[in-house]
Amino acid sequence: MERIKLNNGMGIPPIGLGTYTIKPEPCEKAVLFALTHGYDLIDTANIYMNEKAVGRAIAASGRKREELFITSKIWPKDFKKSKITKAVDATLARLGLEYIDLLILHQPAGKFMEAYHALEEEVDKGRVKAIGLSNFYGKDLKRVLNECRIKPVLLTVECHPYGQNKELKRYLDEQGILLQSWFPLGQGDPKLAQEEVFLALAKKYNKSPQQIILKWHVQSGFCVIPGSKTPSHIADNIDLFDFEFTAEEMAQIAALDRNKRYYNFPRWAVRLFMPMIRMNYDKQI
């Protein structure tokens, strides 16, 4: 599949496998299946507690490292300059990699600008190829863009047809930053998949409603990371490149936007509680 060009010249696949909430054993199997069935992009995070499983699957896949695009995220407990180097060391060790394609600050909490500047130094060293942000909006996002030396290539946020982030997408396009969608199927909301427009398009294109929704993400110019541990679903989720929506069909989907979020953690709570959540990532199996 054709990759999306990032603002640093790298190319990222438009769709990858997300591993949020997947425990180590099924995660390893899911990632191995994905890497041997057309996927190049794998997304994990420190807090997911499955980086070691992802690393084992990468090694078992036999894939060339340069073919893959591996993403992880650093949790706010490590958002200090003195901790970032060790955090990167540990992430690379758990993944079994010499470098990571994209390393993301997971939440706008703690000393995130101090952490961001430390990641810029990791880019200089070549151990991190690109920096991204997760769940940054408004003032926090603008602060990063105003103070950074190396611009983030990507912002990953909740995005789906009920919450399309239209204004944010326009702003990111102006900044040359890619929007990546998590909860791309609306946290599995059955009402979303049963919308009349998705049922009609599924019938027209001989796809499932879920495939229709994922195609909307890709055709909208998003990068999307649906999570699954079921081989048939993993295979279906990437089977999106043999059809295209018309402009009218894209407009019909655009009309579903309700500015809805399923993840509604207040900003003050993110700042207060996220740095307090501490896990021993080295206890991963």
Q: What is the pLDDT of residues 8-63, one digit of tens each?
A: 999 999 999 999 999 999 999 999 999 999 999 999 999 999 999 999 999 999 99
State how far the Cα of 185 lies from the Cα of 210, in Å rounded to an integer: 7
Sort 118 into a burial class: Cβ within 10 Å, 0-12 / 13-18 / 19+. Answer: buried
- Residue 283 in any domain: the answer is no
Cα-based distances in Å from 112 to 22, 34, 233: 27, 32, 36
CATH code assigned at 79: 3.20.20.100
- Residue 49 in any domain: the answer is yes
- Residue 27 in any domain: the answer is yes
Tell me which of 271 and 97 has the higher pLDDT. Answer: 97
- Residue 285 in any domain: the answer is no
Select from 207, 234, 195 the least CA-distant residue to 22: 234
DSSP code of 238? T
The domain total for the chain is 1
Q: pTM surpassing 0.85?
A: yes
* The two structure tokens encoding residue 178: 């890619």
- Domain containing residue 53: 13-276
- Residue 246 in any domain: the answer is yes
pLDDT of residue 266: 84
Which of 48, 116, 162, 281 is catalytic? The answer is 48
- Residue 4 in any domain: the answer is no
Cα-based distances in Å from 191 to 10, 187, 196, 220: 37, 11, 10, 21
Check if the beta carbon of residue 215 is closer than 8 Å to that of residue 236. no
Q: Is the pLDDT of residue 213 over 90?
A: yes
State yes or no: is 48 an active-site residue: yes
* The two structure tokens encoding residue 191: 């009402």
State how far the Cα of 248 lies from the Cα of 251, in Å rounded to an integer: 5
- Residue 1 in any domain: the answer is no
Mean of pLDDT over the chain:
97
pLDDT of residue 270: 85
Chain position carrying tokens 């996927």:
39
Q: Is the pLDDT of residue 268 over 90?
A: no
- Residue 242 in any domain: the answer is yes
